[in-house]
Amino acid sequence: MTEADRRREILVLAHTGRHDAVDAAATVAERLHQAGLTPVMLARDIESLAQVVGDRLRDVPLAVAGKEVPLSRCEVGMVLGGDGSILRAAELVRGAELPLMGVNLGHVGFLAESERTELDSSVEWVVDQDYTVERRMAIDVQVWHAGEHVGSTWALNEASVEKHSRERMVDLVVEVDGRPISAFGCDGVVMATPTGSTAYAFSAGGPVVWPEVEALVMVPISAHALFARPLVVAPDSVLAVEVLQREDEQGVLWCDGRRSTELPAGSRVEVTRSDEPVLLARVHQTPFSERLVDKFNLPTSGWRGPVDASNTVTTDERPAAHPMGSEMTAGTPGDTQGDAP
């Protein structure tokens, strides 16, 4: 089969544990098929779908991702769920250079491009290829212990070093670009991307960083210290956290809340900017400030907005300077403030 003969293939990923997501996945598959495109799904999702919708998709051929269609051959991935579903999808397509378009069926949905009410429109955008691709910074994570490299992973939102035991803090020392910053007992430390600044780092008291800003963020979690402020560093900086060897300390590394690694005392975690960003398919050119207000339902009553440039006073329209100085110019007719007694 030549490229010209092959139908365009669209990856469809859904949170099949939710009835609304399953129904949405069935609808998307039907719409894509009607438009002449091939819906591609994971084998387990196809099985789950069949158990719920029965014969509804009997006449819709579903290709199996990875077996019949490589992920790298898919044009775009439609993700039906919340931010957690998009994080799972980003993990699945890592290395495939496949943009993801999220349809929010969850709560906040910062990463999603549309809502459930825009499901049909989302399919049309994919069919018409009416979207742009946004590159979101990701981070590479390296784990060391006793001078040996013991593992590596990545994250879109954040890597967090946390205490292992609920009943006690963990003693950590944080480092930026090979220099120690501070040591303290805490519940953990979050190292986040701009995308992750509205997730775990935000809950820990970190700053909101606009997605187009290139930076890394380090935020302590409930630190027992006088200086434990969030840090914003250059995108090419190296962030590191070490688990101090005190009383058999032990921690755990979490990446995007999905992948975990045990951290014995003396472990070291290093975070750097990844060379491979996560690709998001975007349709709405909504400013991030507007998305922030909408997702967090922030109050904006009383806002009047920028002043129209046409309403500003030009130099030619200003009153001429008074010969006795600016104090006289500032006065109004009948004002005797500048008169001698």
Spatial CB neighbours of 158, under 8 Å, sequence gap ≥ 6: 139, 190, 191, 192, 193, 196, 199, 200, 201, 255, 256
Find, among 234, 224, 244, the residue nearest to 271 by Cα.
234
Q: Is 116 annotated as a binding residue?
A: no
Q: How far apart are CA 69 and CA 97, in angstroms?
A: 15
Q: Is 200 annotated as a binding residue?
A: yes
Q: Known catalytic residue: 294? A: no
Q: Is 168 annotated as a binding residue?
A: yes
Catalytic residue among 23, 45, 83, 256: 83
Q: Is 201 annotated as a binding residue?
A: yes
Q: How far apart are CA 293 and CA 312, in angstroms?
A: 29
Q: How far apart are CA 175 and CA 183, in angstroms?
A: 9
Q: Is 88 annotated as a binding residue?
A: yes
Number of Cβ within a 10 Å radius of residue 226: 8
What does DSSP say about strands 216-221 and 188-192: parallel, antiparallel, or unpaired? antiparallel
What does DSSP say about strands 179-186 and 188-192: parallel, antiparallel, or unpaired? unpaired
Phi, psi (degrees; rounded to nearest 5) at 210:
-60, 140
Q: Is 59 annotated as a binding residue?
A: no
Phi, psi (degrees; rounded to nearest 5) at 139:
-125, 145
The label of the residue with tokens 């058999």 reads: 248
Q: Are 275 and 97 in contact, with CB atoms under 8 Å apart?
A: no
Q: How far apart are CA 254 and CA 162, in angstroms?
A: 8
Q: Is 83 annotated as a binding residue?
A: yes
User: How many Cα neighbours within 13 Å face the side chain of 83?
Assistant: 16
Catalytic residues, which ones?
A: 83
Q: Can you say which residues are annotated as belonging to the binding site for NAD(+)?
A: 83-84, 88, 157-158, 168, 187, 198-203
